[in-house]
Chains A and B, each alone.
Chain A
Amino acid sequence: MISGAEIVIRCLQEEKVDCVFGYPGGSVLHIYDALFKQDEVRHVLVRHEQAAVHAADAYSRSSQRVGVALVTSGPGVTNTVTGIATAYMDSIPMVVLCGQVPTAYISQDAFQECDTVGITRPCVKHNFLVKDVKDLAITIKKAFHIAATGRPGPVVVDIPKDVTAQMCEFDYPKTIQMRSYNPVVKGHLGQIKKAVQMLQEAKRPIIYTGGGVILSDAADKLTRLAQKLDFPVTNTLMGLGGYPATDRQFVGMLGMHGTFEANNAMHYADVILAVGARFDDRVIGNPEHFSSEKRRVIHIDIDPSSISKRVKVDVPIVGNVADVLDEMLKLLDGGCKTDPEVADWWKQIDEWRGRKSLAYRQSNHIMPQFVVEKLYEVTGGDAFITSDVGQHQMFAAQYYKFDKPRRWINSGGLGTMGVGLPYGMGVLMANPDAQVACVTGEGSIQMCIQEMSTCKQYGLPVKIINLNNGMLGMVRQWQEMFYSKRYSQSYVTSLPDFVKLAEAYGHVGMRIEKPEDVEPALRKAFTEHKDDLVFMDFIIDPGANVFPMVAAGKGLTEMILAEEL
């Protein structure tokens, strides 16, 4: 017989979890004691529980393994909610283990008690409260199973303190059967055949892919399919890296800040193959405008509720993206003949490309786009890029050309400022030798800046690329364009001296103010200071805006381009 706390740790070992991110407290003291007595599961002590969940989330995003966070009851749990909601919106598999007050105290308004299951319910794939130590191992097994299968997502397990003290035999089930949970994997073959037929008849096709391709590790299959068909490919923000960005067939990201060619190709396509993407508002703009063009849509998604939710689909295929693409490839291997008119479509796309919609104005100041371009060069296009949320996020997405999946780590769905630095920590715990840069701004970075201390403790050499314009840039951009330049509360004053701040935490700080210093500084950071966290404070042109832009409520083809301003 072992204690509930030891069962928790044994379960993590059985799941081959090598690292958890967490913060101790009263209700999880037994679990931390059990953690202390072993060395298979490493623990990263963050400085705020929000960062623990973000780091576990990025661990998962960058590695295909389930990230794990461990926090105490009450405020420990409430601090994780933003991180859980962030993972939920992007379908990231994660298990969050929470302490709870002893079962006898539940509902008594005990110290550090909160209704964890109730608070997290709307932003988890599922959650559990374990009231009996006999249910503990099987519940944790279920949590990992649910988190990683079907459309993935975060699962919360709430464990009262007395349960972690009780003794029980440990028996970890190898597999699990749940009558209420059997996600579809294989796509319907008849539908797949119909889709393959439709693709070969297409005259103006586009392959539009999202985070589902990354999550099901289907990037290579998607690439083979696209190249066999010789069709243009566009990625959503979450789908970047699903198809090599440097390839000729890639037309760039689409959506609110998508390229001219991607948005036009999406709008005027006669057949759309949507793969693990969900036609959300940032992608298709105004749905009525989008529906004004006649086209046929094939949609592959593991979640039936994502299909025909915002755009009517002609050929729905419910299934795991990788499995469905496999079936499609098999069919096409038997003979693939596309319509000759696709050549004209390519001519049209190349004409759109000629607009060079990502060209940006020159300046005596450092342009943020230029920093990302140089970052791409210096890292050989092979770094993991985490980002926060705002203009810098869009610049990173537009100008860092992701050739591989799981290299672009950002909060696409919820749009959570503050994720960038803890994301960098999670990536490094999963990929210790990787180059990791966090592209951020002076607004976002301050939302989790305390994690520089964690990075020091565990030697996590994140390169922080702070695109500092002294403004909440994306807010400022909208105010400039849609609120007659009334810059309400978007101006950040009293910024800290980031160089000194980094140094105070024991790291290296740099301030870069001239365009000619950008590349040398980056090189220095990635060579001389390879093993250091380097805070690079780039003082950028405060007027730089993100283009192209589809304003909220506008259609995909109604883009504002840089040169028009």
Chain B
Amino acid sequence: MRHIISILIENEAGALSRVAGLFSARGYNIESLTVAPTEDPSLSRMTILTSGSDDVLEQITKQLNKLVDVVKVVDLSEAAHVERELMLIKVRATGKDREEMKRMADIFRGRIIDVTESTYVIELTGASSKLDSFIAGLDAGLILETVRTGVCGIGRGDRILKV
């Protein structure tokens, strides 16, 4: 099962390596990981996309909570939440493909943020599955480069992760 783990962690040197080290030492899976300071600069918020059985997930949250720098851990996917990922994708845009790329970007509500004679850079935001669909919808030969931020997410409504 796919899970999104959100972590509030002291914004200190080495905090990321403690989390990454825990995942590698115990053989847990990291599909994506994002981290940045919050509105309180002494805290970082980390979002980890992982997968595993319920038993594994229980251990992941327990082990994360055990790290001394970790303030709070929540499995976002346990309840209502929204998730987003940002992708920048550079595509070949020449001849008839140029118009087709523009059309695809529009359909997916992407924005073209860089233009040259032969390429576009398209910015696309959404759930990971939307980004996957976009990639699947393109002719693979036209994709020059992709970069994705990994998932970040937040609980809906009153579900708030705060100190």
Contact A303 B21 (CB under 8 A): no
User: Quick one: closest B residue to A150, CB to CB?
Assistant: B66
B163 at the interface (CB under 8 A from A): yes
Contact A126 B17 (CB under 8 A): no
Contact B25 A117 (CB under 8 A): no
- Pick the residue among A122, A178, A303, A308 that contacts B66 (CB under 8 A): A303
| 107-137 of chain A: CB within 8 A of chain B | 117-118, 121-122, 125-126, 129
Contact A305 B69 (CB under 8 A): no
A180 at the interface (CB under 8 A from B): yes
User: A151 — which chain B residues lie within 8 A by C-beta?
Assistant: 66
A179 at the interface (CB under 8 A from B): yes
Interface-forming stretch among B28-36, B56-64, B135-143?
Answer: B56-64
Known contacts A129-B13, A304-B62, A180 near B21 by CB under 8 Å:
no
Bound together, the chains give a CA A550 to CA B65 distance in angstroms of: 35
B68 at the interface (CB under 8 A from A): yes
User: Quick one: closest A residue to B9, CB to CB?
Assistant: A180
Known contacts A118-B17, A121-B18, A181 near B68 by CB under 8 Å:
yes
User: A330 — which chain B residues lie within 8 A by C-beta?
Assistant: none
Bound together, the chains give a CA A304 to CA B10 distance in angstroms of: 21
| 38-64 of chain B: CB within 8 A of chain A | 55, 58-59, 62-63
- Count how many pairs of residues, one from A and one from B, have CB atoms less than 8 Å apart in the complex: 38
Residue-wise, chain A 142-160 has the 8 Å CB interface mask toward B (1 for contact) of 0000100001000000000
User: Quick one: closest A residue to B22, CB to CB?
Assistant: A122
Known contacts A117-B14, A305-B63, A180 near B68 by CB under 8 Å:
yes
CB distance from A38 to the nearest CB of B (A): 31
CB distance from A469 to the nearest CB of B (A): 36
User: Quick one: closest A residue to B58, CB to CB?
Assistant: A308
User: A126 — which chain B residues lie within 8 A by C-beta?
Assistant: 68-69
User: A179 — which chain B residues lie within 8 A by C-beta?
Assistant: 71, 163
Bound together, the chains give a CA A303 to CA B59 distance in angstroms of: 11
Bound together, the chains give a CA A304 to CA B18 distance in angstroms of: 19
Bound together, the chains give a CA A180 to CA B14 distance in angstroms of: 15
Bound together, the chains give a CA A121 to CA B22 distance in angstroms of: 10
B70 at the interface (CB under 8 A from A): yes
Bound together, the chains give a CA A125 to CA B71 distance in angstroms of: 15
Known contacts A125-B68, A126-B68, A180 near B10 by CB under 8 Å:
yes
A309 at the interface (CB under 8 A from B): yes
User: Quick one: closest B residue to A181, CB to CB?
Assistant: B68
Contact A146 B68 (CB under 8 A): yes
Bound together, the chains give a CA A393 to CA B58 distance in angstroms of: 35
- Pick the residue among B9, B21, B59, B66 that contacts A121 (CB under 8 A): B21
Known contacts A122-B25, A129-B13, A180-B10, A305 near B68 by CB under 8 Å:
no
User: B17 — which chain A residues lie within 8 A by C-beta?
Assistant: 118, 121
CB distance from A300 to the nearest CB of B (A): 16
**Which of B25, B59, B66, B163 has its CB near the most chain A CB atoms (within 10 A)?**
B66
Known contacts A180-B10, A303-B66, A308-B58, A122 near B71 by CB under 8 Å:
no
**Which of A117, A151, A180, A308 has its CB near the most chain B CB atoms (within 10 A)?**
A180
CB distance from A286 to the nearest CB of B (A): 18
Residue-wise, chain B 59-100 has the 8 Å CB interface mask toward A (1 for contact) of 100110110111100000000000000000000000000000
User: Quick one: closest B residue to A124, CB to CB?
Assistant: B68
Contact B59 A180 (CB under 8 A): no
User: B68 — which chain A residues lie within 8 A by C-beta?
Assistant: 125-126, 146, 178, 180-181
Contact A304 B65 (CB under 8 A): yes
| 1-22 of chain B: CB within 8 A of chain A | 9-10, 13-14, 17-18, 21
Bound together, the chains give a CA A126 to CA B59 distance in angstroms of: 19
User: B66 — which chain A residues lie within 8 A by C-beta?
Assistant: 151, 303-305
- Pick the residue among B59, B71, B163 that contacts A309 (CB under 8 A): B59
Residue-wise, chain A 414-427 has the 8 Å CB interface mask toward B (1 for contact) of 00000000000000
User: Quick one: closest B residue to A303, CB to CB?
Assistant: B66
Bound together, the chains give a CA A96 to CA B136 distance in angstroms of: 54
Contact A180 B63 (CB under 8 A): no
- Pick the residue among B9, B59, B71, B163 that contacts A305 (CB under 8 A): B59
**Which of A129, A146, A181, A308 has its CB near the most chain B CB atoms (within 10 A)?**
A181
User: Quick one: closest B residue to A304, CB to CB?
Assistant: B62
CB distance from B67 to the nearest CB of A (A): 8
| 93-120 of chain B: CB within 8 A of chain A | none
**Which of A129, A305, A308 has its CB near the most chain B CB atoms (within 10 A)?**
A305
Bound together, the chains give a CA A146 to CA B68 distance in angstroms of: 8
Contact B21 A122 (CB under 8 A): yes
Bound together, the chains give a CA A178 to CA B71 distance in angstroms of: 9
List, sorted by A's number, 24 A–B pairs whose CB atoms are closer than 8 Å. Answer: A117-B14, A118-B14, A118-B17, A121-B14, A121-B17, A121-B18, A125-B68, A126-B68, A126-B69, A129-B13, A129-B14, A146-B68, A151-B66, A179-B71, A179-B163, A180-B9, A180-B68, A303-B66, A304-B65, A305-B59, A305-B62, A305-B63, A305-B65, A309-B59
* Interface pairs A-B: 8 shortest CB-CB: A305-B62, A126-B68, A180-B71, A304-B62, A181-B68, A305-B63, A122-B25, A180-B10
Chain A contacts to B: CB under 8 angstroms:
117-118, 121-122, 125-126, 129, 146, 151, 178-181, 303-305, 308-309
Chain B contacts to A: CB under 8 angstroms:
9-10, 13-14, 17-18, 21, 25, 55, 58-59, 62-63, 65-66, 68-71, 163
Sample of 18 more A-B contacts, CB < 8 Å, known A122-B21, A179-B163, A181-B68 = A117-B14, A121-B14, A121-B17, A129-B14, A178-B68, A179-B71, A180-B9, A180-B69, A180-B70, A180-B71, A303-B66, A304-B62, A304-B66, A305-B59, A305-B63, A305-B66, A308-B55, A309-B59
